[in-house]
Amino acid sequence: MSDNHEKYRGIHPIVPTAFREDGSFDPDSQRRLVDYLVKIGVQGVAILGFLGEAHKLTEGERRDVIETVMDQAAGRLKVLVGVRALGTAGAIAQAREARELGADAVFAAPLTIQNDNALYTYYRELAEESGIDVLIHDFPENFTTILSPELIGRLANEVPGIVGIKLEEPPVLVKTSQVLKLAPQLAVLGGLGGVYFLEELQRGAVGIMTGFAYSEVLLEIWQLYTAGEHEAAARVFDHYCPLLRYEFQPKLGLPFRKHVFMKRGIFASDFSRSPGLKLDEQSRAELEATIRRVGLDLDPVVI
């Protein structure tokens, strides 16, 4: 097991940013979410990604979110911070801020430019000039940029600071194997709402970074799988599959997860900033019905 594998194994929920009803950042809710994650025992928390509405925040709000989460985490779980900017300088500034505030790593979106040399330079400069561990965020559905396995392998093998990848280009399992063949030391984290988590583990992923609202389910699957209980892991995965599938719908992930967190008493509000789809009544009813069908609930959690 490589150092990267050891450091980034496990469940790293990517979480929404909590807002009050008036749209301002709600640090109390954000702290409750951290406590909840600590309580269920996940290995890390990933903030300020696409799900975290990072692109809808000002620079000052970014800083607030990081400081709040760092303070509440207090070393009880790793903190990973999303980086996404229109150019290299902005990305480096974000990564440096994350390092200065004590984060463990950043997960960084590519530039919106389809040119392997430019992308290589971008990630290399980002890692070298920020001095913090960098995980590549490979999510073309939202970022439009395609990162080839060859480019990822080259970055992993030539740039010490590139330690992992949140891999979300479908078909994600085939790409997981391609990337690990080229760079076996890379920490591959699954994503895509956990919909392929069982097979991601079978392919060599060391964990997952995704927004699925019930992280305890992913944790159970991972604990069973890494304990060698492969059949039990599959049974648990299959059991929750209807919900994993339903909850992972493009554009609906954010309202679904904020709704669950609000109902469970973690977030005070399900407010999300525009632009973005609001939760319609029928989708809400379907979500709740699916949650109940797999035996979960929406009762307030005790933290």
**Bond into 275 cis (ω within 30):** yes
Please give the residues from 62 up to 91 whose contact with a copy of itself meets the rule CB under 8 A.
Answer: 84-90
Of 134 and 266, nearer to a copy of itself (C-beta) is 134
Taking CB under 8 A as the rule, does residue 131 contact a copy of itself?
Answer: no
Residue 203 CB, nearest approach to a copy of itself (Å)? 7
Written as one string, the DSSP assignment of 264-300 is TTS-S----PSSSPPPPHHHHHHHHHHHHHTT---PP
| 291: its two tokens | 């949650």
Burial 136-155 (b: 16+ CB within 10 A, else e): bbbbeeebebebebebbbbb
Contact between 241 and a copy of itself (CB under 8 A)?
Answer: yes
Output 39 or 245, the one with its CB closest to a copy of itself: 245
Residues 246-265 interacting with a copy of itself (rule: CB under 8 A):
246, 249-252
Which strand ranges, in their side-by-side order, compose the sheet holding 207-208?
Answer: 10-11, 207-208, 187-190, 162-167, 133-138, 105-108, 78-83, 44-47
- Closer CB to a copy of itself, 228 or 275, in the complex: 275
Alpha-carbon gap, residue 275 to 277, rounded angstroms: 7
Other C-beta atoms closer than 10 Å to the C-beta of 277 total 15
- List binders of a copy of itself among 108-127 (CB under 8 A): 111-115, 117-118, 121-122
Site for a copy of itself in 8-47 (CB under 8 A): none
CB of 302 to a copy of itself, least distance (A): 29
The minimum distance between CB 74 and a copy of itself, in angstroms, equals 28
Residue 303 in the binding site for a copy of itself (CB under 8 A): no
Output 61 or 229, the one with its CB closest to a copy of itself: 61
User: What is 98-127 written as a DSSP string?
Assistant: HHHTT-SEEEEPPPS---HHHHHHHHHHHH
Residues that bind a copy of itself (CB under 8 A): 53-59, 61, 84-90, 92-93, 111-115, 117-118, 121-122, 146, 170-174, 177, 195-196, 199, 202-203, 234, 237-238, 241-242, 244-246, 249-252, 273-275, 277, 280, 282-283, 286, 293-294
